[in-house]
Amino acid sequence: MSADELDAIVVGAGFGGMGAAIQLKRCGYERIAILDREDDLGGTWYVNHYPGLAVDIPSTTYSYWFEPNPTWSRLHAPGAELKTYADRVADKYDLRRLMRFNTTVDGARWDEDAERWRVTLAGGETVSARFLVTATGYLSQPRIPDIDGVSGFAGTMIHTARWNDDYRAQGKRIGIIGTGVTAVQLIPELAAKADELTVYQRTAIWVVPKVDFPIPPVIRRIFARFPAIQGLLRLLTDALAEVGISTAVVNYRWTRPVNSVATWVSKLHLFASVRDKRTRRMLTPEYEFGCKRTTFNNDYYRTFTQPNVRLETEGIDRIEADGIVTTDGRKTPIDTLVLATGFDLWEANFPAIEVVGRDGRNLGKWWRENRFRTYDGVTVPSFPNFLNLASPYAFTGASYFTMMECQMRHMDRLFGELQRRGSATFEVTEDASARHFERMAKRLGNMVYFRGNCAASRSYHFRGDATIVRPSSRGRALRESTNFPLSDYAFR
């Protein structure tokens, strides 16, 4: 098939891109190219394979609602099982043959005359399609901290999103920068093996106990035989996840006692794990629970009682070839530098590639000049036949898959109408986009980010007056994605 015959280009072969491709196929489009810069599918669950990686919301909820997986070995499955699940879904829905790996997309431009997207790949090749879906995820651009001397470090340097499986921590003096969700999972693993582990913490994180257990083989067999039973468990875990995010984050204005309770649960967890008062003080955040991603772990706090582990809260002045120097002039010699420093989101990921729509409108520029926004978390005016999945205000509920469910429903309604009318293009109207944004903006004031004490959190969940989290309940988001007024779109 020539590239000019493509119905759709999907950028990203992770769960987002695969969900979009499944939906496009359901809508009758078969000529799809899924492009990914990596050499395999799975997105974040292919790229991330650091020790200790596990999903931290129940796997029953962290999976496609139409594709339950009876083989999860634990309530919170290890990362490798997510990759296996992604492989299985790709095979079942025959997506692999649509995928093109080692293919970096540089940018995309709408060709108004041809009514097609022209997508430029690194190396200069151009492919084109009627529809463009960017499914590049929120956490796809690893952040290398801008610390003096970081590039001159002479030992082993590993970012968690570029883990080297051959690396052995035994006998090493390791310095790890960062105490986000990734570090919380990785630190106990490194501490169990390293000679010395120094943890450089800039901002402490609230950690609550994780309710996790193995799923016995007999239960897995029951799930495989009677999917409805696993469905019931999913209803429960969905509800718990929804209660968590809708109280502690979205509706904080009315439910702030929930945040206080969660804070005390975390403090008790810390108290039970660490006897030293000073260490407890250092590990206690100065912002409210909910400002940052909720973190579940049973080993993290206890790790700081090990004799080979040291928590360093003094700022980092510079990195030298063989160690880290803090602002008070102390140098800690290390032979491994682990960067658990997360991802660039707002700067590098909105959008992840340059997208130029009708009349030369540049998405990144337009967002910055007109505030970040997407209609129902997917579309933007002046960008016909374009869906941006990992968008501002798109992340619904506690699971990425809930967001996907909303977006796939939106696609179903949108493409259904496009076909019913026999139109060539869809485009959300400026007016509908503005009204939707106003509705979102009005609800922002209820969220913990803007009403709570989040100033010291350095959370990537919000930036200025924008957030990635949709300020609504899961039910409302699903309803809006299913019933949005079709008149909000112009079909030509």
The residue within the footprint of ligand NAP, chosen from 181, 199, 353, 389 (CB under 6 A), is 181
Q: Applying CB under 6 A, does 95 fall inside the site for ligand NAP?
A: no
Q: Which residues pair with 295 in a beta bridge?
A: 207
What DSSP line would sit under 187-225, residue for residue? HHHHHTT-SEEEEE-SS---EE-----B--HHHHHHHHH
Nearest position to ligand NAP, beta carbon: 180
Token digits of residue 239 = 């509800």
Q: Applying CB under 6 A, does 186 fall inside the site for ligand NAP?
A: no
Binding residues for ligand NAP, how many (CB under 6 A)? Answer: 23
Q: Which is nearer to ligand NAP, 21 or 183 (CB)?
A: 183
Rounded Cα–Cα distance for residues 249 and 236 (Å): 20
Q: Using an 8 Å Cβ cutoff, are 311 and 282 in contact?
A: yes
Q: How far is CA 152 from the centre of its chain?
A: 30
Q: Which is nearer to ligand NAP, 342 or 384 (CB)?
A: 342
Least Cβ distance, residue 462 to ligand NAP (angstroms): 13
List the Cα angle 121/124/129 in 5-degree steps.
50
Q: Which is nearer to ligand NAP, 24 or 345 (CB)?
A: 345
Q: Applying CB under 6 A, does 145 fall inside the site for ligand NAP?
A: yes
Q: Which is nearer to ligand NAP, 130 or 234 (CB)?
A: 234
Least Cβ distance, residue 62 to ligand NAP (angstroms): 7
Q: Is 290 left (phi over 0), alpha (psi -120 to 50) or beta?
A: left
Least Cβ distance, residue 346 to ligand NAP (angstroms): 11
Least Cβ distance, residue 142 to ligand NAP (angstroms): 9
Q: Which residues pair with 323 in a beta bridge?
A: 320, 333
Q: Which is nearer to ligand NAP, 41 or 183 (CB)?
A: 183
Residue 343 DSSP one-character state: B
Q: Using an 8 Å Cβ cutoff, are 453 and 256 in contact?
A: no
Q: Applying CB under 6 A, does 458 fall inside the site for ligand NAP?
A: yes
Least Cβ distance, residue 5 to ligand NAP (angstroms): 38
Rounded Cα–Cα distance for residues 234 and 104 (Å): 36
Rounded Cα–Cα distance for residues 405 and 395 (Å): 11
Between strands 126-134 and 386-388, the pairing is: parallel
Q: Using an 8 Å Cβ cutoff, are 312 and 281 in contact?
A: no
Closest by Cα among 74, 69, 103 to 84: 69
Q: Applying CB under 6 A, does 55 fall inside the site for ligand NAP?
A: yes
Q: Applying CB under 6 A, does 288 fall inside the site for ligand NAP?
A: no
Q: Applying CB under 6 A, does 392 fall inside the site for ligand NAP?
A: no
The residue within the footprint of ligand NAP, chosen from 137, 180, 351, 357 (CB under 6 A), is 180
The residue within the footprint of ligand NAP, chosen from 84, 141, 203, 446 (CB under 6 A), is 203
Q: Which is nearer to ligand NAP, 103 or 179 (CB)?
A: 179
Q: Applying CB under 6 A, does 179 fall inside the site for ligand NAP?
A: yes
Per-residue binder mask for ligand NAP (CB under 6 A), 322-361, x = binder = ------------------xxx-------------------
Residue 248 DSSP one-character state: I
Stretch that binds ligand NAP, among 96-104, 171-179, 224-232, 388-396 (CB under 6 A): 171-179
List the Cα angle 50/200/454 in 5-degree steps.
95
Q: Which is nearer to ligand NAP, 129 or 262 (CB)?
A: 262
Rounded Cα–Cα distance for residues 157 and 178 (Å): 14
- Listed in sequence order, the residues at least 6 apart from 394 whose beta carbon sits closer than 8 Å to its beta carbon are 374, 377, 378, 403, 406, 407, 468, 470
The residue within the footprint of ligand NAP, chosen from 13, 34, 139, 387 (CB under 6 A), is 139
Rounded Cα–Cα distance for residues 208 and 399 (Å): 18
Stretch that binds ligand NAP, among 51-59, 225-233, 382-390, 444-452 (CB under 6 A): 51-59
Stretch that binds ligand NAP, among 87-95, 114-122, 177-185, 210-218 (CB under 6 A): 177-185
**Residues of the shown chain interacting with ligand NAP in the complex, contacts defined by CB under 6 A:** 54-56, 139, 145, 147, 177-183, 185, 202-203, 293, 316, 340-342, 458, 460
